Chains A and B, each alone.
Chain A
Amino acid sequence: MDWTALWLSLRLAAWTVAILLPVSILMGRYLAYRQFRGKGLVEALVMLPLVLPPTVFGFYLLVAFGRASPLGEFWQEMFGTQLVFSFEGLVVASVIFNLPFAIQPAQRGFEAIPVEVREAASCCGMSPLASLWRIELPLAWPGVMTAMVLTFAHTLGEFGIVLMVGGSIPGETQTIAIAIYDRVQAFDDRSAAIMSAVLVGISLFTIAITFWLSARVGRRLS
């Protein structure tokens, strides 16, 4: 059992969720309420990581993060490290490829709030921020919660993009999914089996938590 890889995966997933939570709420809310030209294009762009082969997406990220790219250059100057083959690079990649999982369910959650309820909040004297906190978030919470759980679970399981952008450096970029692959390559079926089982356990646990939470919220609302 490779605890280092598991710990790295959990850290990566936690960072991704932490960064995507505000993005999920703000973008989901914006896309749910606003009608604007090119909205379809923005929604398509958000969904793109879902349909692109991970290797293709990973390849573009690799190029974008490289020292020759403006982003890679900026990162190098700011932090003195390179973005590719580093944990930070992995977090950035993870945030990008999780966008569809983080935004879509939240958007659906906000879309389900009747527009008069939002208007009523504002007529009750609530500023947009107060309305978000007291009315919209509690009502859209099942959607936001689903988004975060999907993001967490998907980060644990992502393989292709992580391998392309991070390689497989133990303690830096070797996630549990990649560690399992490495174990299988080394004919260490026993370790691969244990780690796979642990991953199944964690995934089941997170999904169960989501169902339990959304059922609870559902009861609270109805």
Chain B
Amino acid sequence: MGLEVTVRAEAPIPLDVAFRVEPGELLALVGHSGSGKTTLLRTMAGLWRPQFAQVRVNGSTWLDTAGGVDLPPHRRRVGVVFQSYALFPHMTALQNVMAAMDRADCAEAQRILDLVNLHGLAARKPAELSGGQQQRVAVARALARRPRALLLDEPFSAVDHATREKLYGEIIALRAHLAMPVVLVTHDVNEAQLLADRMVVIERGSVVREGTTAEVMADPEALRAMGIREVAAMLPAMIAEHGADGLTRLEAATGPLFLPTVDGAVGASVRVRIMAHEVILSRDRPVGLSAQNILPGRITRIVPGRGPAVTVHVAIGADEILSRITRRAAEQMQLEPGQGVHAILKTMSVARHHVAKAPATAADRLQGE
């Protein structure tokens, strides 16, 4: 079951990648531009045929170069959201959605448009819609195909930051309705961590690291391949109070967490992405610090990297956060697994777009384990 992909090619770029996506799971293909991730997506959609490739969905073969099977895109039942959205400019939003249906069903198209929060805009042409609205039409159109696999090609890269945050929330909410495997192609690690259950990191056409989002994001080697120091953990939390001074109090297993205003009602579940290099460790509870967030926890693992830094995994209740400190500091503090420490997080170090609504899907429960 699910989507199984194997690709080997020499041109246009060398590729040697295999992965699998379960039904209902969202897999992020993460890599730089030119890493080959878009070529993989095009192979799944049937828009590109590499020298050697196999694409199987729920047991039926879409592409098998060795076996001589190569279904054209229109016979693959695939939903694709293009980077440029590629909406049909001469059709209204509603017509765009209906164009992807086997039998045009106006009521059903309307329902899908409602699902992506586009009520009232059905009669607009793409040129009369904002970037975010166009993206929603593109998602609705991809869903109207009743796809066996949903492919998203950098779907957030053409909108501004504020819109992007809103769209993240909508995709997370939409996941409750998606039973098919979903593949997200992105170069944005933050996006991948907020949205994906699992990640495949691709560099120069081959897989550097594959695993759950938490595993990959805790692995400095994998992240170095992406050219970043963005080791980070996701912390589930709940909005407890919006303060008058512009700070929102979140309740996490770690105790209260103070962040710059977080969108959402009091009581809403969120996930906060905490960058490892923003977390300072202290063996004793510090006093007189400007940092508002001091989280007591226990060291579970210390993972050395190739460079001068180590990643310290700190269990805080049922959750885990990561701290990236120098090897020298770890030695001087004589840190060891099992020790109690305090993780210190500066309030302003969590960017607004690092906070996302918590999804309510089975896949998320798996990720939380």
Contact = CB atoms under 8 A, between A and B. Distances in A.
B84 A124 contact: no
B141 interface: yes
B173 interface: no
Contacts of A48: none
Interface string B30-48: 0000000000000001110
Interface string A172-215: 00000000000000000000000000000000000000000000
Interface residues of B, number: 27
Given A139-B89, A220-B90, A221-B89, A123 B84 contact: no
Nearest to B146: A125
In the complex, which of the residues B46, B90, B102 has the most CB atoms of chain A within 10 Å of its own CB atom? B90
Contact of A120 (B72, B80, B90, B127): B80
Interface string A87-116: 000000000000000000000000000101
Contacts of A134: 99
Given A116-B82, A119-B73, A119-B82, A124 B99 contact: yes
A139 B99 CA distance: 15
Given A119-B73, A120-B80, A222-B127, A125 B100 contact: yes
B82 A120 contact: yes
A125 B102 contact: yes
B127 A124 contact: no
A127 interface: yes
B291 to A, nearest CB: 47
B82 A139 contact: no
B84 A126 contact: no
Contacts, number: 70
Contacts of B74: 122-128, 130-131
A220 to B, nearest CB: 6
A124 B77 CA distance: 8
Interface in B48-79: 72-74, 76-79
A127 B80 CA distance: 16
Nearest to A134: B99
A138 interface: yes
B145 A124 contact: yes
B90 A123 contact: no
Contact of B84 (A116, A131, A220): A116
B19 interface: no
B266 interface: no
Given A116-B86, A221-B89, A123 B127 contact: no
A24 B99 CA distance: 26
Given A126-B74, A134-B99, A222-B127, A121 B88 contact: yes
Given A134-B99, A222-B127, A123 B80 contact: yes
Interface string A25-50: 00000000000000000000000000
B75 to A, nearest CB: 8
A125 B75 CA distance: 6
A152 B111 CA distance: 47
A135 interface: yes
A64 to B, nearest CB: 41
A139 B73 contact: no
A52 interface: no
A117 interface: yes
A96 B107 CA distance: 50
Interface in B69-125: 72-74, 76-80, 82-84, 86-90, 99-100, 102, 125
A114 B73 contact: no
A128 B75 CA distance: 11
Contact of B99 (A126, A221, A222): A126
A220 B72 CA distance: 31
Contacts of A116: 82-84, 86
Given A123-B45, A123-B80, A124-B141, 9 more contacts: A117-B87, A119-B73, A120-B82, A120-B87, A122-B47, A122-B73, A131-B74, A138-B90, A139-B90
10 contacts: A114-B86, A117-B88, A122-B47, A122-B74, A123-B142, A125-B145, A128-B74, A130-B74, A134-B99, A221-B90
Lowest 4 CB-CB distances: which A-B pairs, in order?
A: A116-B86, A120-B86, A124-B100, A122-B73
